């Protein structure tokens, strides 16, 4: 009896001990997990490399896990090239090149080579050896100005205003542009101290609201223009007629993003929607456009051009005829041509989706008009519109562009995850928000290096395409070097597809 009682007592004690030990182990594991998570939380908050982890410690890791696993599971859930506006393949190229990570892939292309419009480059039987390759040649813009601009790079940063972008994003772009040696366009919000901070080359944009160029009475002021032009960093002026995402509509900065500082720079009321008119008061026809260009160029002494998205071409006859009447020194020094697929910080959907022509259609036509009017050398062409990978940039050069600019390519380099919330002031990556807790995630010193890596890697790989096409540098690419897939399943050379409009000549546009 006693023995049985002892046995039960021992059994109970043993069970108690086991439960106790299990409990202790579990509590220790739990405590360790909690301590681990706290350490990870602190680490995430403090590290500077990944914006998402700084802004969303712990849960931000899921983004990287999903991104990594996406590669393996994409055949079940998403297609590599299905997301919009930019697909995974395009974004991955930018992310990797911005981090200077090898962009080599294997097994074969996931790109469907058959849809109509697919671009294919024409490889040369005897490509250019590395030892024979040469650097991209510089281009002089505005030869008749007091201070022409010698542009050394072909890929540059397109207009995005301080207002649409955060202070940290502008700082990263400015320092990144300096590192890469490319230019940064200020966008239509005026020149902010953050644009100047990196000491890079700047293109100062004059939007329809003339933010940054107004006097105290709110009028466009020649004195103010002169003041802005006196910054040595400002190399050119761009008069914005329209942008691809919203032709016929001026810039929009939602009230939530109009902080006191931005209001002061723009000379507008705080926390009220900042809406630009849909055209310049002074410019209602080609002649007035040339007058305004002359005014800006005379006052500033710097190359002056305009930005537009084309809807129709006929007015180009009018503009180019007027230029010849006045003399070619009166021509704009450059035209920035934006495609209908261009991006924006905020725009009505009907304009984003339906207005204007895509760059694939408008760029060849603009180049041919310039050739036809003998203005091809005088007016430099800067192309934009989802041209964010080397192949897209290479295509634009083949067609005849002198330069390519990108806005969203550089947003990806800054860490944009395509959350499409730019207009809400809640950008999770700190790029298009003025909320300090979100903006702090974007560390300009680190992201500027990514901006520079991206710009340099684009130019490097466009070089690789050029050498494969048999030319020594990207500026030697012409229309014989690319083909486009047609409806019958066969490709046709760009030189055949876009012969010179009036002469019908199938002569490639040679920019050398
Ligand atoms: C956030 C954001 C802000 C922009 N702000 C301007 C602007 O101020 N002025 C302008 O002319 N274009 C602006 N754009 C248009 C771009 O400069 C560019 O023309 C267009 O997005 C096409 O380039 P992408 O396809 O490489 O983005 C903006 C685009 C984005 C994404
Ligand atoms: S992460 Fe989203 S909200 Fe931020 S810039 Fe990119 S698309 Fe805009």
**For residue range 449-472, what is the model confidence (pLDDT) as tens digits?**
999 999 999 999 999 999 999 999
Distance CA 72, CA 353 (A): 33
Say if ligand 1 is within 6 A of residue 345 CB: yes
Specify burial of residue 159 (Cβ count, 10 A radius: 0-12, 13-18, 19+). buried
Q: How far apart are CA 8 and CA 4, in angstroms?
A: 6
Please report which confidence band the pLDDT of residue 500 belongs to, taking 50, 70 and 90 as the band edges.
Answer: low
Percent of the chain with pLDDT over 70: 89
Cα 150 versus chain centre, distance: 22
- Calculate how far, in angstroms, residue 430's C-alpha sits from the geometric centre of ligand 2: 8
Q: Is the CB of 307 under 6 A from ligand 1?
A: yes
Find the DSSP H helices in 74-121: 88-98
Nearest Cα to Cα of residue 412 among 87, 37, 149, 107? 87
Given this model, what pLDDT does residue 76 score? 54
DSSP state of 374: T
Q: Is the pLDDT of residue 399 over 80?
A: yes
Model pLDDT for residues 90-136, shown as the tens digit of each residue = 999 999 999 999 877 767 777 788 889 999 999 999 999 999 999 99
Say how far apart CA 442 and CA 348 lie, in whole Å: 28
The string over 37-46, giving b where at least 16 C-beta atoms fall within 10 Å of a residue's C-beta and e elsewhere, is eeeeeeebee
Q: For residue 209, is pLDDT > 50?
A: yes
| CB-CB neighbours of 74 under 10 Å | 15
Ligand nearest to the CA of 441: 2
State the pTM of this model: 0.88
The torsion angles phi and psi of 343, rounded to 5 degrees, stand at: -95, 180
Dihedral sign computed on CA atoms, order 37, 43, 46, 52: negative
pLDDT of residue 510: 45
Instruction: Output the CA 282–ligand 1 centroid distance in Å.
Output: 23
Q: Which residues surround ligand 2 with Cβ inside 6 Å?
A: 411, 416-422, 427-429, 431-432
Q: What pLDDT is stored for residue 195 in this prediction?
A: 98
Tell me: pLDDT of 230 over 60.
yes
Query: Looking at the DSSP assignment, which residues form a beta bridge with residue 482?
Result: 121
**Model confidence at 314: pLDDT above 90:** no
Q: What is the mean pLDDT of residues 271-294?
A: 94
At residue 355, the pLDDT reads 79
Q: Please provide the average confidence, as pLDDT, over all residues in the chain.
A: 90
For residue 209 and ligand 1, the question of a CB distance below 6 A is answered with no
DSSP letter (8 states) at residue 507: -
- Mean pLDDT, residues 277-283 taken together: 93
More confident residue, 205 or 52: 205
Q: What is the pLDDT of residues 128-173, one digit of tens each?
A: 999 999 999 999 999 999 999 999 999 999 999 999 999 999 999 9
Residue 190's closest CA among 169, 165, 172? 165
Q: What is the pLDDT of residue 113?
A: 81
- Least distant ligand from the CA of 404: 1
Tokens of 45: 């908050």
At 218, the pLDDT band (50, 70, 90 cuts) reads confident
Quick check: CB of 163 below 6 Å from ligand 1? no
From CA 172, how far away is CA 396, in angstroms rounded? 27
Instruction: Flag the least confident range among 346-350, 392-396, 400-404, 431-435.
Output: 346-350
**Ligand 2, atom 4: closest residue by C-alpha:** 427
């Amino acid at each position: 009896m006693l023995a049985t009682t002892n046995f039960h007592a021992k059994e109970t004690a043993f069970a108690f001990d086991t439960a106790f030990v299990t409990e202790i182990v579990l509590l220790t594991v739990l405590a360790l997990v909690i301590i681990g998570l706290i350490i990870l939380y602190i680490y995430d908050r403090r590290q500077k490399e990944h914006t998402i982890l700084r802004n969303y410690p712990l849960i931000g890791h899921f983004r990287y896990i999903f991104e990594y696993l996406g590669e393996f599971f994409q055949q079940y859930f998403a297609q590599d090239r299905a997301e919009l506006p930019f697909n995974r393949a395009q974004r991955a190229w930018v992310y990797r090149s911005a981090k200077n990570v090898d962009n080599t892939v294997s097994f074969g292309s996931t790109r469907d080579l058959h849809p109509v419009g697919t671009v294919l480059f024409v490889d040369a039987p005897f490509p250019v050896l590395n030892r024979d390759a040469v650097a991209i040649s510089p281009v002089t813009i505005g030869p008749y100005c007091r201070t022409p601009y010698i542009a050394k790079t072909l890929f540059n940063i397109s207009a995005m205003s301080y207002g649409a972008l955060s202070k940290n994003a502008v700082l990263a772009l400015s320092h990144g542009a300096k590192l890469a040696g490319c230019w940064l366009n200020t966008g239509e919000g005026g020149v902010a101290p953050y644009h100047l901070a990196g000491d890079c080359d700047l293109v100062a944009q004059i939007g329809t609201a003339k933010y940054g160029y107004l006097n105290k009475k709110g009028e466009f002021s020649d004195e103010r223009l002169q003041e802005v032009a006196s910054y040595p960093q400002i190399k050119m002026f761009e008069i914005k007629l329209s942008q691809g995402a919203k032709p016929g509509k001026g810039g929009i900065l939602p009230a939530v993003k109009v902080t006191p500082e931005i209001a002061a720079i723009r000379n507008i009321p705080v926390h009220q929607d900042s809406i630009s008119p849909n055209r310049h008061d002074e410019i209602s026809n080609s002649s007035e456009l040339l007058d305004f260009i002359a005014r800006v160029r005379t006052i500033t002494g710097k190359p002056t051009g305009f930005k537009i998205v084309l809807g129709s071409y006929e007015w180009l006859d009018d503009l180019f005829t007027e230029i010849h009447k006045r003399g070619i020194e009166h021509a704009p020094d450059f035209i920035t041509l934006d495609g209908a697929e261009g991006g924006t910080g905020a725009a009505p959907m009907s304009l984003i989706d339906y207005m204007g022509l895509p760059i694939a259609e408008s760029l060849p036509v603009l180049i041919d008009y310039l050739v036809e009017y003998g203005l091809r050398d005088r007016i430099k062409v800067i192309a934009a519109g989802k041209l964010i990978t080397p192949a897209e940039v290479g295509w634009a050069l083949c067609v005849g562009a002198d330069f390519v600019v990108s806005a969203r390519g550089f947003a990806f380099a800054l860490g944009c995850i395509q959350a499409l919330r730019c207009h809400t002031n809640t950008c999770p990556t700190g790029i298009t928000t003025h909320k300090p807790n979100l903006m702090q995630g974007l560390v300009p010193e680190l992201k500027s290096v990514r901006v520079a890596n991206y710009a340099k890697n684009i130019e490097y790989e466009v070089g690789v395409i050029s050498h494969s096409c048999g030319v020594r540098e990207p500026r030697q690419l012409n229309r014989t070097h690319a083909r486009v897939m047609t409806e019958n399943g066969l490709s046709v050379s760009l030189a055949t597809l876009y012969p010179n409009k009036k002469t019908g000549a199938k002569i490639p546009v040679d920019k050398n």
